[in-house]
Each structure stands twice: as C-alpha cells, then as structure tokens.
Amino acid sequence: MAAPGSCALWSYCGRGWSRAMRGCQLLGLRSSWPGDLLSARLLSQEKRAAETHFGFETVSEEEKGGKVYQVFESVAKKYDVMNDMMSLGIHRVWKDLLLWKMHPLPGTQLLDVAGGTGLAWVLGDAEELPFDDDKFDIYTIAFGIRNVTHIDQALQEAHRVLKPGGRFLCLEFSQVNNPLISRLYDLYSFQVIPVLGEVIAGDWKSYQYLVESIRRFPSQEEFKDMIEDAGFHKVTYESLTSGIVAIHSGFKL
C-alpha cells in the first residue's frame, strides 16, 4: 500500500509530532524516549506493540479504532445540534469556505471521507479505501482525519485515489496562533464543551475526547510536512478563526 522509498514514518511522542525515519522497512517503530528519536528501538513486525493516543489517554493502536467508533456511535444522534451549540454555528462558515475553495463543477469526481452520510455513500476505511487508483478529481476530509489511527496512511490513500492533477483538501482543527485567544479557547474547550455534551447529549466523555484529540493533532506546519511526505505538491494551508481550524490543500502531480 505504501510506495517503498517514498514514505516517512511519523511518530507522536511527548508533546509533538516529528519525522522519525525515512524508509518503510521500519514498520513497527516505537519511540520510547521523548525528544530522542534517533535512539528509538526497532521492533520486528512480530513484536509490534505500538501505542498511540486517544485524547490524553494512551491506548494500543488496535484499540483506538474501536474506541473512536464508539465515540461516534454515541454522538451520532445529537451530532448536528452539538456542532451548532459548541461552535455557535460557525462550523457552517468553515464548511462553506472549504466548498468555496474547492469550487466543484458539474462533472467533478469528488470523494468526501468521514462524511457520515451523503447523497451516495460507501462504507470504507480511510487507511484502505475501496477505490481504484487515480479515480477522483478532489478528495476532501472535514473534521475526520484527526480521528484516524494512522494519519500518514490515510494521506497516502488520498494520494493514491486522486487523479494526476487532483486536489487534496482537509478541513481540521488546528493550533491557535494568538496567545490570548489560545487561553480563552482552552478555557472554553475544557470547561464548557464537556458540560454541553453532558447536558445536551448526556455524554461527557465523548466531548472530553473531542477537545483532547484536538490538542493532539499536529500544528499547521507539521501537518503540511506530513501531506508533503505523502507525495503531494504545492501544499498550502489557510488558518481560520485565529487558527482554531485550518484548511490544508495539496496537489497530486
């Protein structure tokens, strides 16, 4: 699935994302000393016991998919109401901006991943899409990639299914660029959002996961690098609402 020689391994340890090493023979890489990636121990594929984050918790990679699934099962019923309440309707503006950027025309082959439901929908896995190579003009993913266990694989899949000349667009929570707004945003995220989740949807934990998973996601620049590593060119990003969200764009040549 991953093209040999062109994939990079990203690992999350401590507080940031960093490029571990290039080369796909390092599957199962696990870094256990924060900030000291070069001395990371290599594990053979048989002994893969990789861990990842689930919000601020640490879980095994195998567990994460199931746990994310449970979260979305739980929030599905009140999803739209909660989005409106939490963002005061601003999420609609963000999504509008994404569409505006994308400027789809009649005939455009568009794939929207992690879309929930849509006009014509297919059940699949972002890390292993049920589509042939070079099929779509535009690939979008809005507020979905943050929850994928192996983001690099999802990016590689996006690259694979896009036609040459095709465009990758991602709308996702990102890092706030203003210190004062960042403090207010943290306050709101951690003090108010889980309460809203509990009162409106009877679900504290899913919304606690939401705000934590946002903090775990790479910054605008880090994510840009990850997209480039998946083979995309002309990668750019635009921060919206002081960086609360960002739209990343890249092209397959």
Partner 1 sequence: MATLLRPVLRRLCGLPGLQRPAAEMPLRARSDGAGPLYSHHLPTSPLQKGLLAAGSAAMALYNPYRHDMVAVLGETTGHRTLKVLRDQMRRDPEGAQILQERPRISTSTLDLGKLQSLPEGSLGREYLRFLDVNGHCFPYDTRAPTRFVDDEELAYVIQRYREVHDMLHTLLGMPTNILGEIVVKWFEAVQTGLPMCILGAFFGPIRLGAQSLQVLVSELIPWAVQNGRRAPCVLNLYYERRWEQSLRALREELGITAPPMHVQGLA
| Positions that interact with partner 1 (CB under 8 A) | 55-56, 183, 186-187, 189-192, 194-196, 198-200, 202, 204-205, 208, 212, 215
For residue 83, give Cα distances in angstroms to 19, 94, 113, 137, 143. Answer: 33, 12, 18, 29, 11
Please identify, using beta-carbon distances, which residue of 109 and 219 lies nearer to partner 1.
219
Least spacing, CB of residue 238 vs partner 1, in Å: 25
Beta bridge partners of 142: 171
Please identify, using beta-carbon distances, which residue of 11 and 182 lies nearer to partner 1.
182
Strands 8-13 and 57-60: unpaired
Least spacing, CB of residue 179 vs partner 1, in Å: 10
Please identify, using beta-carbon distances, which residue of 3 and 81 lies nearer to partner 1.
81
126 annotated among ligand-binding-site residues: yes
Distance separating alpha carbons of residues 124 and 111, to the nearest angstrom:
12
Q: Residues near 76 by Cβ (< 8 Å), separated by ≥ 6?
A: 116
Least spacing, CB of residue 195 vs partner 1, in Å: 4
Helix (H, G, I), strand (E, B) or coil at 54: strand
Let me know how long the chain is: 253
Strands 51-54 and 57-60: antiparallel
Least spacing, CB of residue 187 vs partner 1, in Å: 5
Least spacing, CB of residue 74 vs partner 1, in Å: 14
Please identify, using beta-carbon distances, which residue of 197 and 250 lies nearer to partner 1.
197
Least spacing, CB of residue 212 vs partner 1, in Å: 7
Tokens representing 242?
């002081």
125 annotated among ligand-binding-site residues: yes
Please identify, using beta-carbon distances, which residue of 3 and 199 lies nearer to partner 1.
199
Please identify, using beta-carbon distances, which residue of 4 and 179 lies nearer to partner 1.
179
Distance separating alpha carbons of residues 141 and 7, to the nearest angstrom:
21
What's the one-letter identity of residue 65?
G
185, 24 contact by CB (below 8 A): no
Pick from 146, 134, 198: nearest CA to 175: 146
Q: Residues near 168 by Cβ (< 8 Å), separated by ≥ 6?
A: 139, 155, 158, 159, 162, 227, 232, 248, 249, 250, 251, 252
- Residue ranges for the known binding site for S-adenosyl-L-methionine are 117, 125-126
- Residue ranges for the known binding site are 117, 125-126
